[in-house]
Amino acid sequence: MELLPLLFLSFCFLTLSGLTFAAESGPPDTRVIVMEDDDVILPCSLSTNENIEKKLFVWKKEGTVPLKEVFMYDDGTYKGQYEEFKGRVSHFPEQLKHGNASIRMKKTQLEDQGNYTCSFPEMKSTKIFRIELVVGAASEPYVRMLQEKGLLECKVSGAYPKPTLAWRDSDNKTLESVQLKDKEEQGRFYIVIQTTVTNPGCYHCVATQIEISHQIPSSETCMHDDIRSESGIIEATLVSVIFGIIGIVVAF
C-alpha cells in the first residue's frame, strides 16, 4: 500500500530529471574553442570514473530534427554515426575504463559549431552533458599603402566570428580609421578599414576576435621621411629661387 506513492514519486523524479536534463536551455557545461581545420576534443567524463567499456553512450548535435548522431558506442563496439561525422569523429578506447567518453573531431569546420550532448541513456542517474563547440576562422590582416601618401588600408577576408580591425602606431596607440567595407557572406566576414597617417614611422593593423580570445597583428608598414623631406625640398628650392630672384634684382 505504501509502495505506490513511493513509486509514483520516483517516477515523477525520473520524468522531471529527464525533462530538465534533456532541455536545450541554460548554459552548456563546457565551452570548447577551436580554429577551423584544427582537431578538437569534446570532453565528457563520469565523475564516478566507473568503467563504461560495456555501456552505452551517445553523442548528438543539437538543433537538428531528429538530433544528429555524432557518435554512438555500446557494449564494446562502435554503433554508427551520421554521414557528416563519419571517419572524422572517434572515441578514446583506452579511456573508457576510467569513465571517459570524450571524442575527438578532426579537421573542424565552421558548420561543426554548435551544442553537443553526451549521454548515457541506460544509466538513469547520469546527467546529460552539454558541450558548446565554437569554431573560429581567422586570417592575418592584409595591409597596403595606397597611392596617396599616408593612406593605409587594412583588410581581413573570411573571418569568423566578426573581427574588429584597428590601425596602431609603434607605441601601440590606436589611430582613428574609417570602415570602408563590412560584409557578411556565408557566415564569414569581410572588413576593410583605412587610416591616414602624417608622421613617419611604422604602423600595423590588428584583427581582434574577442569571443574566441584571438588576436592577429599584420606585418608592419613603414612610412619614411618622404612626405616631410619632399615638401622640405620643394620649400627649400622655392626659397632659394625667391632669394635668387631677389639677389638678381638687388644686384641690378
Ligand X SMILES: *[C@@H]1O[C@H](CO)[C@@H](O)[C@H](O)[C@H]1NC(C)=O
Listed residue (35, 189, 212) closest to 109, CA to CA: 35
Task: Enumerate the β-bridge partners of residue 71.
Answer: 59
Ranges within 170-199 binding ligand X (CB under 6 A): 172
Q: Measured between alpha carbons, how far is residue 198 from residues 44, 202, 206 in Å?
A: 55, 12, 20
Among left, alpha and beta (phi > 0; psi -120 to 50; other), residue 222 is beta
Choose, by CB under 6 A, the member of 17, 21, 28, 175 that binds ligand X. 28
Size of interface with ligand X, in residues (CB under 6 A): 17
Choose, by CB under 6 A, the member of 90, 100, 164, 194 that binds ligand X. 100
Shortest distance (Å) from residue 88 CB to ligand X: 16
- Distance separating alpha carbons of residues 131 and 114, to the nearest angstrom: 8
- Indicate the DSSP class of residue 17: H
- Distance separating alpha carbons of residues 238 and 252, to the nearest angstrom: 21
134 or 227: CB nearest ligand X? 134
Q: Is 25 in the site for ligand X (CB under 6 A)?
A: yes
Its sign, for the CA torsion 49, 18, 79, 32, is negative
Q: Is 213 in the site for ligand X (CB under 6 A)?
A: no
Shortest distance (Å) from residue 49 CB to ligand X: 8
- Distance separating alpha carbons of residues 143 and 218, to the nearest angstrom: 7
Give the position of cell 566576414.
189
78 or 92: CB nearest ligand X? 92
61 and 67 in contact (C-beta within 8 Å)?
Answer: yes
Extract the C-alpha cell encoding 89. 569523429
Choose, by CB under 6 A, the member of 17, 30, 90, 95 that binds ligand X. 95
77 or 172: CB nearest ligand X? 172
Shortest distance (Å) from residue 99 CB to ligand X: 8
CA 220, distance to chain mean position in Å, is 24
Ranges within 103-122 binding ligand X (CB under 6 A): 113-115
Q: Is 78 in the site for ligand X (CB under 6 A)?
A: no
125 or 172: CB nearest ligand X? 172
172 or 186: CB nearest ligand X? 172
81 or 117: CB nearest ligand X? 117
Q: Is 41 in the site for ligand X (CB under 6 A)?
A: yes
Q: Is 150 in the site for ligand X (CB under 6 A)?
A: no
25 or 213: CB nearest ligand X? 25
Among left, alpha and beta (phi > 0; psi -120 to 50; other), residue 67 is beta
Q: Give residues in contact with ligand X (CB under 6 A).
A: 25-28, 41, 43, 45, 92, 95, 100, 102, 113-115, 132, 134, 172
